[in-house]
Structure 1
């Protein structure tokens, strides 16, 4: 059986408040606790005098029928009778006003209350009150009984008297306090239940792929922080779901294009429209190579996503790797009329990296500059050692990349419109794979506007401490 949270919170709240009340009652009881109560000598004389007066009253009236009928008149009679009896008893010097009228009760022979006040069970438990009973004799037997609540010392007599006189009010206040405590506990339980219920319902909706789910985050407490984190999680899940759908669509599109070309070429050969020649075979081989390259890139990206990207790290000079890779593009840049320059770092650097993977990253970056830079433009590679990192800057001239597209460089299948587009070749996975490899080395790959008017790619790798 699952107990609802609101019920548990309510029970905990009420139990906590009751525990505080019980502890308070225990402290009050302890303050009144002591040995067995015995009436003081002078109070014993006063009680005996009261018993004598009550006995005479009973005998004179032939019973208790002569007592006033209304409660107010009977209370006045009771106080006057006790005051008259106390005046006849010896009073010690410094004796305070007697409180027996508030601590004593008159009952008939059957135990029915006639006058005075009896402590209720809660008060007896609270104040640890002891009671002593005196029998009131008559000419015909027993007229009734006088019961007195006994204090531990004279100082407690007034306190007990006040408690006994106000016990009804105290009982009402206690009940009101319990009711208010229960109400407060219910309000707290409801206040806590609502955000928890909202989070639970929101989590269920996210489980149904409803990533637009947002919950109220206006609270200024921990629940508000949790709600804001929940909304951020929903937004990220929505973005990831969109990226996944785009990834599937882009992958399908990239695979469909070379497959469609291959299918069209094969059908043309089967129909006799296109002859089986070396040129036709070369064209088909190019499409197959494009497919192999795309599948290879996808495989490496998936390995990186699962943490299975294999790296054979070793100490090396990153500038040496960059320089040898740059030299592979020297002839191609000359053919396109590009002004290619390199600026080596002013100090040597040693990093721990996979040379093949590092060469793959730099080749991809240089390839992009050689492919997209307009004929007659400039490409520059600069090495720099800053503190504990080696930085490699590859700058090219126009055309540049719009500022709004710079943050998206490195996303899978993302291509910049205009001149940097699919018509220049590539699947849009090269920069994504390069960034993944660099991050696997603990480095960063960033893109910004180049001082030459095109794009700047910055590769940063941590160096071996010296």
Structure 2
């Protein structure tokens, strides 16, 4: 597998699983700590609420004693402790000078609740118990007799769990929470493992596809019906593979076409030279002209290849300057009058008075010459060529539309590829190698414009060139 070629590097799957588990562990730890804090706080608040209820009941008992005794003379710390420990029931008044009976003892409150409780009178004087210092406000219950507060019963709030029963209950809750957290962590590990496998399945496919492309297997496709970013990336990789495959096919066609174009004139030259050497043909002016024509054809092909290679790598030098495109087109069309007559093609020209442009005059002349030559070479006589120039939305639009033969939409898309020809026999008749339109394309792109081909209304081909007016 491509992802795991380097064993010492942690795989993406391991990183994702660790990330999922790490996040889960952090969340569980925070939840456990917060739950522990919330439980202890809530439990203490519950204990204080129970104590509050207990104090209110004892306050009622103290109010009855106050009313019976006419004051707090019979209430001291011992009596207060007995009331706090005993059941809250109505007790008979104790004999004067003696302690009240103990009554029936219920579940004793925690020692803190007895020692931390005290009684004060309506003037704030201590009656019974021992006040304790606490940062929190005390739990309090008023002692009311005939709608008058005659005293107040206070108890210090709990600061922590202290009794064995409370501590045991707290530990049990904590242990249960830890077990739940461990179970959740294991479940998160299982889910993250499965989720990681599903998430990385398309990534592994893409890695395999990219590796296949590095080996030259451009036919590998990742097509998968996904509507997310990975699906878009797969589609882009498929398009890249298709482009690379087309590029390789085009390169192979280039080599075959160039070899053929170079072989044709060299074969003719070789044949004629051998015929002269063997005495079959005399070395006269006609024979020399024939060989010179083949040499010129070979040189034109080499020059076109050189121009194309320079424009592809950006080696052509452009000298941009203000010029009049209308005048340039008019002059170039005029120079082809004789060639158009010989080809049997009538040229109709529609130009505005002036189209100022910022461009390279030499390269634009080459552009116009190539487009005119292309129409004259591939238009059946008697034919027509309409050349028009107009200005649309700050763009100079130059159109060359000729009569039959034409081209299909698919063929028009490939016309600007180097060495592409619609009909090889006609191209060889015209002496072209299919490089002119490719050179035109590069010239237009260098001027920040666009060029396209489409079927013409005259039955032939319409080539449109748009150049920005600056």
Q: CA deviation at 1:293?
A: 1.0
**Residues of 1 paired with 2:385 and 2:343: CA distance?**
11
Report 1:23-38 matches (<5 A). 23-31=30-38
Question: 5+ unaligned residues in a row in structure 2: which ranges?
Answer: 1-7, 52-82, 90-105, 111-156
Question: 2:63 corresponds to which residue?
Answer: none
Question: 2:103 corresponds to which residue?
Answer: none
Question: 1:186 corresponds to which residue?
Answer: 193
**Residues of 2 paired with 1:335 and 1:209: CA distance?**
50
SS in structure 1 of the partner of residue 416 of structure 2: coil
SS in structure 2 of the partner of residue 211 of structure 1: coil
Question: 1:125 corresponds to which residue?
Answer: none
Question: 1:146 corresponds to which residue?
Answer: none
* Aligned residues of 1:151 and 1:157 also touching (Cα < 8 A): no
TM-score normalized by structure 2?
Answer: 0.70
Q: CA deviation at 1:234?
A: 1.1
**Residues of 1 paired with 2:165 and 2:313: CA distance?**
81
**Residues of 1 paired with 2:185 and 2:457: CA distance?**
76
**Residues of 2 paired with 1:8 and 1:341: CA distance?**
71
Q: CA deviation at 1:247?
A: 1.4
SS in structure 1 of the partner of residue 265 of structure 2: helix
**Residues of 1 paired with 2:424 and 2:233: CA distance?**
44
Is the alpha carbon distance of 1:14 and 1:402 closer, same or farther for their aligned partners in structure 2, counting shifts above 3 Å? closer
Instruction: From 338, 343, 367, give the equivalent of 2:373.
Output: 367
**Residues of 2 paired with 1:409 and 1:18: CA distance?**
62
Question: 1:236 corresponds to which residue?
Answer: 243
Is 1:254 aligned to 2:250, yes or no?
no
Question: 2:285 corresponds to which residue?
Answer: 278
* Aligned residues of 1:410 and 1:432 also touching (Cα < 8 A): yes
Question: 2:337 corresponds to which residue?
Answer: 330
Does 175-184 or 156-165 show the bigger shift?
A: 156-165
* Aligned residues of 2:402 and 2:460 also touching (Cα < 8 A): yes
Question: 1:311 corresponds to which residue?
Answer: 318
Is 1:200 aligned to 2:196, yes or no?
no
Question: 1:444 corresponds to which residue?
Answer: 450
SS in structure 1 of the partner of residue 322 of structure 2: strand
* Aligned residues of 2:32 and 2:178 also touching (Cα < 8 A): no
Is 1:429 aligned to 2:435, yes or no?
yes
- Once the two structures are superposed, what CA deviation does each residue of 1:109-159 show, in whole Å capped at 9, x if it has no partner? xxxxxxxxxxxxxxxxxxxxxxxxxxxxxxxxxxxxxxxxx9746899999
Q: CA deviation at 1:25?
A: 2.0
* Aligned residues of 1:99 and 1:158 also touching (Cα < 8 A): no
* Aligned residues of 1:151 and 1:160 also touching (Cα < 8 A): no
**Residues of 2 paired with 1:210 and 1:373: CA distance?**
41
User: Larger radius of gyration, structure 1 or 2?
Assistant: 2
Is the alpha carbon distance of 1:27 and 1:216 closer, same or farther for their aligned partners in structure 2, counting shifts above 3 Å? farther
**Residues of 2 paired with 1:290 and 1:337: CA distance?**
23
Is the alpha carbon distance of 1:398 and 1:215 closer, same or farther for their aligned partners in structure 2, counting shifts above 3 Å? closer
Q: CA deviation at 1:99?
A: 11
Q: CA deviation at 1:403?
A: 4.0
Question: 1:293 corresponds to which residue?
Answer: 300
* Aligned residues of 1:32 and 1:152 also touching (Cα < 8 A): no
**Residues of 2 paired with 1:320 and 1:157: CA distance?**
107
Q: CA deviation at 1:371?
A: 2.4
Is 1:456 aligned to 2:452, yes or no?
no
Is the alpha carbon distance of 1:373 and 1:172 closer, same or farther for their aligned partners in structure 2, counting shifts above 3 Å? same
**Residues of 1 paired with 2:283 and 2:37: CA distance?**
110
Question: 1:10 corresponds to which residue?
Answer: 17
Q: CA deviation at 1:423?
A: 1.3
Instruction: From 375, 398, 408, give the equivalent of 2:414.
Output: 408
**Residues of 1 paired with 2:109 and 2:200: CA distance?**
52
Question: 1:90 corresponds to which residue?
Answer: 86
* Aligned residues of 1:314 and 1:353 also touching (Cα < 8 A): yes
**Residues of 1 paired with 2:404 and 2:214: CA distance?**
47
Report 1:21-100 matches (<5 A). 21-31=28-38, 89-91=85-87
* Aligned residues of 1:393 and 1:459 also touching (Cα < 8 A): yes
Question: 5+ unaligned residues in a row in structure 1: which ranges?
Answer: 44-86, 101-149
* Aligned residues of 2:343 and 2:377 also touching (Cα < 8 A): no
Q: CA deviation at 1:448?
A: 2.0
**Residues of 2 paired with 1:156 and 1:201: CA distance?**
66
